[in-house]
Amino acid sequence: MGAMAAMGALPAGALPPLPTLGVPGVPELKPLTRYEAMRLGPGWSHSCHAMLYAPNPGMLFGRIPLRYAVLMQMRFDGLLGFPGGFVDRRYWSLEDGLNRVLGLGLGCVRLTEADYLCSHLTEGPHRVVAHLYARQLTLEELHTIEISAVHSRDHGLEVMGMVRVPLYTQKDRMGGLPNFLANSFVGTAKFQLLFALKILNMVPEEKLAEAVAATQRPKKPAIDHGAGAM
């Protein structure tokens, strides 16, 4: 049974509720549609970022399925984030502004409205709506972008390098995704990562919840060996 069928019939003219993250330990952000975001007044700023990913049949240590390769960036300030940035709506559409920023950091990818995934209002004193786009590539295309990023204008300046997100959890319950989530992220990037992994069915919701919960437990010294995945 599909999600809409499970919810039952909606009243005439009613729209289905927007999806939420629903992971314990992660503050929920208010979702809104792209149309609603575009109707916000001039006092709002718009940040647009892109999650590029590809199915990955590879196996870590010959036994841990990688499943997907998901790209993020290490920024100049030591924080992790997605490629993208703020878009001045006076001069650019969301997609044109995003592609302009991506051209500085990646150099060889253009996104369209068809790649739009979600919008959320950010917390804090600043009036910012965060938009996330997501595009599935082949692993070869994604690797080409990784290589191209090294030669982009921003490499070594605003961007320290691309990183792949480990989506597995090792037997110690910290290695992989939990350890990655324990890093520091810029703005809404951590929320957007978890939201996209859930909405795109890349990681089961219960595994996301377990990974987040693991980051909130006292840390044990890391052991440098290839422990298996759960």
pLDDT of the chain, 230 residues: tens digit per residue: 333 333 344 445 445 788 999 999 999 999 999 999 999 988 899 999 999 999 999 999 999 999 999 999 999 999 999 999 999 988 889 999 999 999 877 767 899 999 999 999 987 788 999 999 999 999 999 999 999 999 888 888 999 999 999 999 999 999 999 999 999 999 999 999 999 999 999 999 999 999 999 998 876 666 665 555 55
Sign of CA dihedral 183, 132, 50, 230: positive
| pLDDT of the residue at 228 | 54
Q: Exposed, middle or buried: residue 138 (CB in 10 Å: 0-12, 13-18, 19+)?
A: exposed
Q: Are 48 and 85 in contact (CB under 8 A)?
A: yes
Alpha carbons within 13 A on the beta-carbon side of 187: 25
Integer distance in angstroms from the first to the last C-alpha of the chain? 28
Contact 72, 81 (CB under 8 A): yes
The DSSP call for residue 109 is -
Confirm or reject CATH 3.90.79.10 for domain 28-167, answering yes or no.
Answer: yes
DSSP code, position 226: -
Q: What confidence score (pLDDT) does residue 227 get?
A: 53
**Contact in structure between 119 and 33 (CB atoms under 8 Å):** yes
What is the pLDDT at residue 230? 56
Would you state the pLDDT for residue 212?
A: 96
> Could you tell me the residue ranges of all domains in the chain?
28-167
Does the predicted model carry a pTM greater than 0.75?
Answer: yes
Q: Name the residue with tokens 């792949």.
A: 164
Give me Rg for the CA atoms of the chain: 18
